[in-house]
Copies of this chain bind each other. A is one copy, B any other.
Amino acid sequence: MNIQNLSREQLCERLAALTEKYNSYKALGLKLDMSRGKPGTDQLEITNGMLDPALLGNYKASNGFDVRNYGILDGIPECKSLFAEIFGVNEDNVIVFGNASLTIMYDYIAQCMIFGAGAEPWAAQSGIKFLCPVPGYDRHFGILEHFGIEMINVPTDSNGPDMDMIDELIKDEKVKGIICVPMYSNPTGITYSDETVRRFAALKPAAKDFRVIWDNAYCVHHVTDNHDKLVNIFEAAKEFGSEDIFIEVTSTSKISFPGAGVSALAASDANIAAIKKRMTIQTIGYDKINMLRHANYFKNLDGIKKHMLRHAEILKPKFDAVLSAFENNLAGKGIAEWTNPNGGYFISLDVYEGCAKRTVALCKEAGVTLTGAGATYPYGKDPEDKNIRIAPTFPSRDELCKAVEILCLCVEIAAIEKILG
């Protein structure tokens, strides 16, 4: 039953019935949160073993260094080696940081603002811009807006961003970079195709101080058995000698503990040197006890992969609950489309054009908190007001089922209201 084919009378009838159902939900005084990509408590439990002090042995890193004391700027060897394996790069091209890749990105852009990226400081160049594949990650946009960097939307499909458009836009030397999540992207869950990654590697920006922030947050975060594969950007860049434009980051926030994990960066020799130069002033070193905990608990990439299977076990039923509710309640109605990702933390829902804000507001009133409409676009402005990021991980499966049912109801109510005008 495509809603758009219904008569005005049928729509009014349907709206009345849906509203009655909606009001009965509202009366329950629910408090359900699907707003952020937070692991559920059940996911946190599986890593508790990492807090066993026996894992720290005699507190010595593999180079004999006491992890309890000052020193080691770029991370203990075994933790660098773990991330080198994850990134698929040489250990010398890895720096291990503190608890958040968000902070790595913020600090890197701050560094470019004050000291530049091999050219004049960005802050001293007026009108600089970044390209933002959309829909995208609100905290990325937050950083760019904070620094007064103009953001330009680049549409994304299932292969990644529109690379023809990017090739055109980077002819402007005021365009200083791109920020993106290339694998299990936030919020669509898509992974950039081999061809897209190859075209990133082949970029020929006019700006000499151009940087791609390659936020590989979900590089091992498979949910289904069907694993996406992302081409190694530094491998691809070799062919074009473009290694210097890529800054890749990741973290264990959604592998071990959000906020108490370890983050890392991969970059070219030149970029590593520039970043270390800043770091020697900013810190004596990050938390090495936590690095040793992580390195000894996971041991290697294989250990991480095994651990991620346990997360997937918990997440798969939650993703399925959302997807089957969408299928059951929204399919064929002509008012919504959604992604069906193999991994990551989100499902992207496109509602009837002009209805995202209204849908989120209706949900809110009924006690279901969603990510704000517009959050997946720079400046919080979704030009078609239709994208909603669904974060199914934090609620329990029961809460989730209830929340999604209400969401589907709100999607339809908002769409009918819109059609009725």
Cα A52 to Cα B52 with chains together (Å): 7
Decide yes or no whether A106 CB sits under 8 A from chain B: yes
A288 on the B face (CB < 8 A): yes
Given A52-B53, A69-B39, A70-B36, A259–B282 Cβ distance below 8 Å?
no
Q: Is A31 an interface residue (CB 8 A)?
A: no
Judging by beta carbons under 8 Å apart, are B288 and A69 in contact?
A: no
**B284, A100: Cβ atoms closer than 8 Å:** yes
B114:A67 contact, CB within 8 angstroms = no
Task: Give chain B residues whose Cβ lies under 8 Å from the Cβ of A289.
Answer: 51, 257, 259-260
* A230 on the B face (CB < 8 A): no
Q: Nearest Cβ in chain B — how far from A312, in angstroms?
A: 19
Is A306 part of the binding interface, using a Cβ–Cβ cutoff of 8 Å? no
Count residues of chain A with CB under 8 A from any CB of chain B. 52
Q: List 30 A-B contacts (CB under 8 A).
A: A36-B70, A38-B70, A41-B69, A44-B68, A48-B53, A51-B53, A51-B56, A52-B53, A53-B53, A68-B257, A68-B259, A69-B257, A69-B259, A70-B259, A71-B259, A98-B98, A98-B99, A98-B286, A98-B287, A106-B283, A107-B282, A123-B123, A143-B282, A258-B284, A259-B284, A259-B285, A259-B286, A259-B288, A260-B288, A260-B289
Query: A290 is contacted by which of B53, B107, B260, B278 (Cβ under 8 Å)?
Result: B260
Within 8 A of B (CB), among A40-71: 41, 44, 47-48, 51-53, 56, 59, 66-71
Number of copies: 2
Contact residues of A with B, CB < 8 Å? 36, 38-39, 41, 44, 47-48, 51-53, 56, 59, 66-71, 98-100, 102-103, 106-107, 110, 113-114, 121, 123, 139, 142-143, 146-147, 253, 257-260, 278, 280-290
Q: How far is the CB of A319 from chain B (nearest CB, A)?
A: 19
Residues of chain B with a CB closer than 8 A to A282's CB: 102-103, 106-107, 143
CA distance A146 to B106 in the complex (A): 18
Most chain B CB within a 10 A radius of its CB, from A52, A114, A282, A283: A282
18 further A-B contacts with Cβ under 8 Å, apart from A38-B70, A41-B69, A290-B290, are A67-B259, A68-B260, A70-B258, A98-B98, A98-B286, A99-B287, A100-B283, A102-B283, A107-B282, A110-B114, A113-B114, A114-B123, A139-B281, A142-B281, A143-B281, A146-B278, A259-B289, A260-B287
B260 and A38 within 8 A (CB): no
User: Bound complex: CA of A143 vs CA of B114, how far in Å?
Assistant: 13
CB neighbours of A48 from chain B (8 A) = 53
In the bound complex, how far is the Cα of B6 from the Cα of A99, in angstroms?
Answer: 61
Contacts of A106 in B (CB 8 A): 281-283
- Complex formed: what's the CA distance from A266 to B47 in Å? 34
